[in-house]
Structure 1
Amino acid sequence: MHDAPAFTAVLFGLRGCLVQAADGPPLPAPGALDTLAGLRRQQVPCIWLDDLSGAQSKRLAAVLPDWLPGHSVNGVRWPAPNACWQALMSLATERLDGCVLVSGEPHLLQSGLNAGLWTIGLAACSPSCDLGSQQWQAMSQQEQDLARGKATLALFSLGVHSVIDHLEALDTCLADIAQRRRKGEKP
């Protein structure tokens, strides 16, 4: 079998995935800056997507590297695939093969699936595991683990290709998808 080409592009959800926007000021999510730097070293184009207004998205994205472009959805409602396609077009992506969407937001992941992308769900970033919420902070470790497990099952039942807890595990997950691609698997 021939080697699959490098990843064409990686799309990220902005809120919860790359940026934590709890009650305080926005902060990069754990592992976000290292993940983005690693993909940039590998020359994999990246972009974030969000359905917030342009001003809200820019405020959140201000904690991310200046080189990282973003795409605010203009009138397109997820799970329509248009937002993913528009983001890829803004990156001048030549093909869908090798494009990956990473998010904990089910509607955005469904958009990625509808667009024909590989999808990676972030269980710890899903709506039921809001790490910055007071409700989450009040949970015991066992309750948090149970919520993360339920989020994982919900993401897999949606049809995503892989589920990880957080961005720190993305390299391993991308290596797995690369192996699946080398075997001829398609999203």
Structure 2
Amino acid sequence: MSIAQHIEAVIFDWAGTMVDFGSFAPTQVLVEAFAGFNIPLALNEARGPMGVGKWQHIEALAKDPAIAPRWQERFGRPACAEDIDALYAAFMPLQLQRVGHYSQMIPGALELAGLLRSHQIKIGSCSGYPRQVMNALLPIAADAGYSPDCAIAADDLKAGGRPGPWMALQCVIDLAINEVAACVKVDDTVPGITEGLRAGMWTVGLSASGNEVGLTAAEWHALPAAERTNRKVPAEDKLRAAGAHYVIDTVADLWPVLQDIAARRVRGERP
């Protein structure tokens, strides 16, 4: 069986999926952006809405019942749209400055990309990052050896970003895919899994490398095996509850999943 006959493309997220083990680039910068307004924000709080566009992410944080009172106490009123704009304006230069610092390739990602290329499977990508950040990230990834066939940013499309299907479907258009069900969406967040499902694709959730566990690769591999299991089980449960067809640790484990999806398509199964 030629796998490329049954899988035309794999569409990857960026932070926590192909780069930035633990998804630190967006979350750490969000903590710093809120600190600039004298609003304390814990790293685990910043991770909460991960996967959506960054303006929407900031809006969700500012309206979070645990965080909103801090804004009220500091400014004497709830955060409004203009405040979200101001936070976003503070976030953007920090994100552009720091994205390269955190965006090393996840172990096994380059090898997987090479395997996909060798089997003529196209590589798409989309992200919660806005276009400015994507434009900064793409050459960094290219220097490391990773250049997807397309890269859609959260603010590229009038329809919007996740959890809607539009970025994934734009990849289908840009890659000239013949059948959406021949695409696999790979992501570490619930909105990213929802995106793939709404687009009619197979979906694969990543538990260990992503936002839910939130550890660096070194921290993750330093854990005893039992502790790694304990840390990733809540992430696995969350991704499965979102409807992911498969949940694996990292993209390094993806190839056998793709083979299984191809075999299921041979049997006539659909996502």
TM-score range, shorter chain: 0.7 to 0.9
Q: Distance in 2 between matches of 1:71 and 1:165?
A: 24
Find out whether 1:78 has 2:155 as its counterpart: no
Match of 1:48 among 125, 134, 151: 125
- In structure 2, C-alpha distance between the alignment counterparts of 1:19 and 1:60, rounded to whole Å: 10
- 2:144 is equivalent to residue 63 of structure 1: no
How far apart, in 1, do the equivalents of 2:217 and 2:259 lie? 32
CA contact (8 A) 1:52 1:72 kept: yes
The TM-score with structure 2 as length reference comes to 0.62
In the alignment, the residues of structure 2 paired with residue 133 and residue 22 of structure 1 have an alpha-carbon distance, to the nearest angstrom, of 11
CA contact (8 A) 1:110 1:158 kept: yes
Q: CA deviation at 1:113?
A: 0.4
Tell me what 2:186 maps to: 102
CA offset at residue 6 of structure 1? 2.8
Question: Partners of 1:153 and 1:63 in 2: how far apart?
Answer: 30
- In 2, distance between residues paired with 1:67 and 1:57? 12
Other structure's SS at 2:164 match: coil
Partner of 2:16: 16
Which structure has the larger Rg?
2
Distance 1:133 1:54 in 2: 27
- What secondary structure, in the 3-state scheme, does the structure 2 residue paired with 1:129 have? coil
| 1:149 corresponding residue in structure 2 | 233
C-alpha contact (below 8 Å) 2:4/2:120 kept by paired residues: no
1:127-138 equivalences under 5 Å are 127-132=211-216
Q: Equivalents in 2 of 1:4, 1:43: separation in Å?
A: 6
Equivalence for 1:169: 253
Q: Is the 8 A contact 1:7 1:99 kept in 2?
A: yes
Cα pair distance change 1:54/1:170, threshold 3 Å: same
Structure 2 unaligned spans of 5+: 26-100
Q: Work out the CA distance in 1 between the residues paired with 2:250 and 2:148.
A: 22
Contact map agreement 1:121 1:164 (CA 8 A) in 2: yes
CA distance in 2, matches of 1:126, 1:166: 8
Q: Which moved more, 1:82-91 or 1:110-119?
A: 82-91
Paired with 2:214 and 2:128, the residues of 1 have a C-alpha distance of 18
**RMSD, matched Cα:** 2.4
Secondary structure, counterpart of 1:78 in structure 2: coil
Q: Is the 8 A contact 2:6 2:266 kept in 1?
A: no
How far residue 55 of structure 1 moved from its aligned partner, in angstroms, is 2.1
Matching residue of 1:160: 244
What is the CA–CA distance in structure 2 between the aligned matches of 1:133 and 1:165, rounded to whole Å? Answer: 12
* 1:77 CA displacement: 3.0
Distance in 2, Cα, partners of 1:66 & 1:153: 31
Contact 1:103 1:125 in 2 (8 A): no
Percent of counterpart pairs with the same letter? 27
Q: Structure 1 residue 4: deviation in Å? A: 8.9
Match of 2:116 among 32, 39, 44: 39
Is 1:91 aligned to 2:175, yes or no? yes
The TM-score normalised by the length of structure 1 is 0.87
Does the Cα contact within 8 Å between 2:184 and 2:204 map onto a contact in 1?
A: yes
Partner of 1:115: 199
For 1:84 and 1:118, the matched residues in 2 are separated by: 12
